[in-house]
Structures are given as structure tokens and as C-alpha cells.
Chain A
Amino acid sequence: MAYGNLKFDTLTTSDSKNTNTEKSLDTSYIFNGVAKAWIKYDQDTPEVDDSFNQSSTEDTSEGQFKPSFSNSMANAEYVVSIMAEAEAGLTDRCDYQQKSSSTTSLVHCITAEAGSLRDAGNSNTVIHGDVA
């Protein structure tokens, strides 16, 4: 059975278990604060394991890839978080860099300590910002 829609602009709590002081939150804060896109990408294959708000990912070169959005971002001032899972035998430090961004896509690269680009089997990217 499907539930209906609940539409409201403000979320209010009595906070009875803590301060007992009523607190309110504008629900637009929730919308503005959630991740707008994410992707778990395996560059070794290359294949997208799972995602949200992505249309494709481009394997651009070794250690470099470009996810594209389904719902474009409103501007290119969004925030990108990226982390790749550690891999056996590769224990040195890696740098994660955002090389360029537009409202439709961004280019990441993963650089090993020695300075060379490196593929990552499980790279995780999260985007926060405003959607168009």
C-alpha cells in the first residue's frame, strides 16, 4: 500500500527528552542540505556500481574520470567529496583532486604519492549543492 504525501514547510519538536524547549526547522534546510548526487564507481572494470542523479561516467584516462549529472546543478559552485577504498598492496597516500567542474559534469583524478595517476576499484563521490 502506498502512503500519501505529507507537505509541510516547518518541522517542530518539543525536544521534551532534552531541553523541553520547542525548536523548529524550515524543511527547505533539509532539501538544501542533502546530497544531490552520488556515485560508487569501479574504474578497473570500468563500471558504475550504484549512483543517484548520474547519467554516465567517463573513463577519461588512468586515474581520471568524469561523472555527468541527470539533473544539472544550478551553478558550478557545488561541493565534491571523494574517497577511494584502500587496495591491497597500495598503502601509500593518495590525493583526490577535482580538476574541473561545470553544471553538467566534473572531472576527478586520483594521484598516488609518487605523483602518477592511479585507477581505483571503488571510488565514492558525493555532491552537495543546488540543483537546477
Chain B
Amino acid sequence: MIKTPEFQGTHLWERLHWAKENLDKVQSDVRVVYEDPEDMENPAKILVPDPNWMACALQGGVLPPVEVYWELAKDEAQPDFEKHTRGYLLHNTKPVDAMTEDEAIEYLIKKDIPQHVWSTWNEGNKPKMVICRTHQLPEHRQWRNAWQITDDIELAA
């Protein structure tokens, strides 16, 4: 396995270039299905991990901690937000070590799915979020706009 250069302080965008050149894509079979209580008009959404991002996550030393994205999200939520002024958090914070696929999916959930979904995923009458494999999704996309997490879903221990 190729060694990741010391990337703390290197612009994240440059690190992604390095990863694109040096790492093979990792196509994950995992999908995260979730329903957003604040968007019940729409069907269940499916998070698809990016293969180049997954390669970075498994390699280690490339991606910033997920908490950095939360800090930037706080800035963007301000009413007078125009542009990010703390982008350095992405580049200067110590990158995270190599993750397993499970850890990478957990990171991705915390980065790209709304916090009000993943922080209360198992509260209520049924789970709001389910991690599954591609073969567990419906076989065809007919009636895609009616997809929901089933009420009687059985969760793995």
C-alpha cells in the first residue's frame, strides 16, 4: 500500500488530486436509506458512497475530521453568511487515520445526512435510517417516488 504523505497543512483539494492519481477507487456495496421527518412529502433517500472518497477514507491521512464540516455548517447557517472564512479548518486540522468500511460509512452519515436524522435514527415508531446492501434495495425503480422504510423492518443486532 502506498504511504500517504504528511498532509496536515496541505489544501484538501490538493490532497484529493494526490488521491485521484495514486489510489484505486473502492466501490462500496453499502447504501444508507433514510427518511427525513422534515421532508415527509418526498420518498426515502438513498446515500451512495463515492468510490474515490471511499479510497481516501480507507487509505487514511487524507480527509479532515468530520467535526470540521459541522463547524463550517454552523458558519453557513448564519443569516449574514456570504462565504467561508474558516476553510483553513479543512486544510490545517490533522487528517483522520485509516478507517474500516463501517467507520467510513459512519463518518459519511455524519457528514452528508442531516444531523436531526442520524442523531435520532431509532426514535419513533420505526427507524428513520437503515444501512443496507445494494441487493436489499428494490430490484427496479418503478414507483421510486413511493419508496419508504417498511414499518416492520427487522434490524440486525
Contacts and interface: CB of A to CB of B under 8 A. Distances in A.
B48 A59 contact: yes
Interface residues of A, number: 36
Contacts of A130: 83
Given A55-B111, A61-B43, A74-B84, A47 B141 contact: no
Interface residues on B, range: 35 or more
B13 A53 contact: yes
B25 A59 contact: no
B46 A54 contact: no
A105 interface: yes
A70 B63 contact: yes
A36 B14 CA distance: 11
A79 interface: no
Contact of B53 (A54, A103, A104): A54
A16 B150 CA distance: 69
Nearest to A117: B145
Interface string B1-44: 00000000001110010001000010100000000000000110
A29 B51 CA distance: 30
B84 A103 contact: yes
B50 interface: yes
Contact of A61 (B12, B42, B51, B53): B42
Contacts of B73: 104
Given A36-B13, A50-B25, A61-B42, A56 B52 contact: no
Contact of A72 (B47, B72, B145): B72
Contacts of A119: 141, 144
B12 A48 contact: no
A70 B12 contact: yes
A71 B42 contact: no
A56 B25 contact: no
Interface in A40-70: 44-48, 50-62, 66, 68, 70
Given A56-B112, A70-B16, A70-B63, A75 B50 contact: no
Nearest to B17: A52
B87 A131 contact: yes
24 contacts: A48-B49, A48-B51, A50-B52, A51-B51, A52-B52, A55-B108, A55-B111, A56-B47, A56-B49, A56-B53, A56-B112, A58-B45, A59-B46, A61-B144, A62-B144, A62-B145, A70-B12, A70-B56, A71-B90, A72-B69, A74-B87, A75-B82, A103-B76, A131-B87
Interface of B: 11-13, 16, 20, 25, 27, 42-43, 45-53, 56, 63, 69, 72-73, 76, 82-84, 87, 90, 108, 111-112, 134, 141, 144-145
